[in-house]
Structure 1
């Protein structure tokens, strides 16, 4: 009997501690009483709209909704034009959660979880382009479009020093630049390239890759006390099918590997 009482007391103590921990995590991750999820339109890694069902999906959007549900706080979508703007919003204190390529440069300003997914980086060309392989991109003088403020903007000049890098303010502008012949190709992660290609009949995402992006959950600096909770959250959605469902609903393409 005494052993049973001790066991029950210990269980109650653990439950009480867990409840207090959960409450602390809520206050850390959602200090405004809601989870402000930073998203940018047009990428399955962030947020896009299914034109058939009119539903909104994307890794940042879906995982943000799930985390808000678990924290028992409201979900607030905070819109930006591109990922660099989302991260600036996080630095400014306007965003609590997003999914981003976890680079050392970005880790200076935000805190990342372990890797969520790994995706390929590639190139998009128009139907009339003479470029047929990744090797063709090595030709000097090619005009390569990249998203302004993206990791690609910083990487492509080092990878292809003889190329002309042309920043675009958004993926929509990138499509216009390709269609109007202002650039020869567009470089970013393949999930975005496939979304762009869907809007450009006959365009091609080239086979092969020039690198990888390691996506992770990003939270503001100073909230590292909640990182263990985020790590368990990531492990859970990777194993219980929620991440796979989000990938499928978002139509995320481009050699996606769970880590």
Structure 2
């Protein structure tokens, strides 16, 4: 009887193991975690996505999504941190990471695969309080220079859109206001939430009302991983519809961002 109980327990354990293996998406795991772990790029350059805690570890919406994806794939998660979106894009392009959280942009889309958006973020302008500029539409003048984070979504967008104003590149997006002040530049451009915090931190500056662009934030992965991209697209849509993204935004006290609408059916 004892031997039968042992054999029965072993059979049950084997059945559970096989069932767990059967539920793991084999093709996506092979493409999203080819090394056996999910290497997720976390960008500290955008405070809506991630911030450093007191001990230096990352926390935020992108961290929560990375951990949930790793859980579903059944693999450990390695958080690889960066200080700018430009460095994240390079890491994805060179397959140094498996997933990333980046703005949808045609330039970036040429170097990686991207999902539909999961979060929508506003881009804003910041100027000095005594600046004659009052509206976003007034920025694009030859007399104005605009500081942007090098390689950021704002850099890419304004490179295409500005016809007269000149761009000045800051090393990272969180540095744009300090560069604007230090170099006496007319305008800084970036994440609205970041610039609102800067306006409280730095005396003598203000935001122009409204926004000059909307950023659709998506998940990205190296090119050639089509099965992984299909899985990620389904994952993003579920994270939006289930309330996971909204709960993460609320949990981390994020304002100035909204859950993206469902992607159109293909």
2:35 to 28, 32, 35: 32
**Which shows bigger deviation, 150-159 or 58-67?**
150-159
Give yes or no for the alignment of 1:43 onto 2:54.
Answer: no
Write the distance in 2 (CA, Å) between the matches of 1:20 and 1:99. 26
Within 5 A, what are the aligned runs for 1:1-259? 19=22, 22-49=25-52, 56-201=58-203, 203-254=205-256, 256-259=258-261
Structure 1 residue 77, shift from structure 2 partner: 1.3
Change (3 A) 1:43 1:151: closer
Change (3 A) 1:28 1:157: closer
Q: Tell me which residue corresponds to 2:5.
A: none
Change (3 A) 1:43 1:201: farther
Give the TM-score normalised by structure 1. Answer: 0.82
| SS of structure 2 residue aligned to 1:154 | helix
Write the distance in 2 (CA, Å) between the matches of 1:249 and 1:137. 35
| SS of structure 1 residue aligned to 2:190 | strand
Structure 1 residue 172, shift from structure 2 partner: 4.1
Structure 1 residue 83, shift from structure 2 partner: 0.9
Instruction: Mark the runs of 5 or more structure 2 residues left unpaired by the alignment.
Output: 1-14, 262-266
Give the TM-score normalised by structure 2. Answer: 0.80
Structure 1 residue 38, shift from structure 2 partner: 0.8
Structure 1 residue 54, shift from structure 2 partner: 8.0
Structure 1 residue 181, shift from structure 2 partner: 4.7
Give the root-mean-square deviation of aligned CA atoms. 2.8
Structure 1 residue 18, shift from structure 2 partner: 8.7
When the two structures are aligned, how many residues end up with a matched partner? 245
Structure 1 residue 78, shift from structure 2 partner: 1.0
Q: Tell me which residue corresponds to 2:9.
A: none
Structure 1 residue 31, shift from structure 2 partner: 0.9
2:121 and 2:216 in contact (8 A); partners too:
yes
1:44 and 1:251 in contact (8 A); partners too:
no
Q: Tell me which residue corresponds to 2:10.
A: none
Residues 143-187 of structure 1, C-alpha deviations (whole Å, 9 max, x = no match): 100111223223324433221210111134323213325312211
Residues 88-142 of structure 1, C-alpha deviations (whole Å, 9 max, x = no match): 1111121111111111221111111122122222212244544333233244311
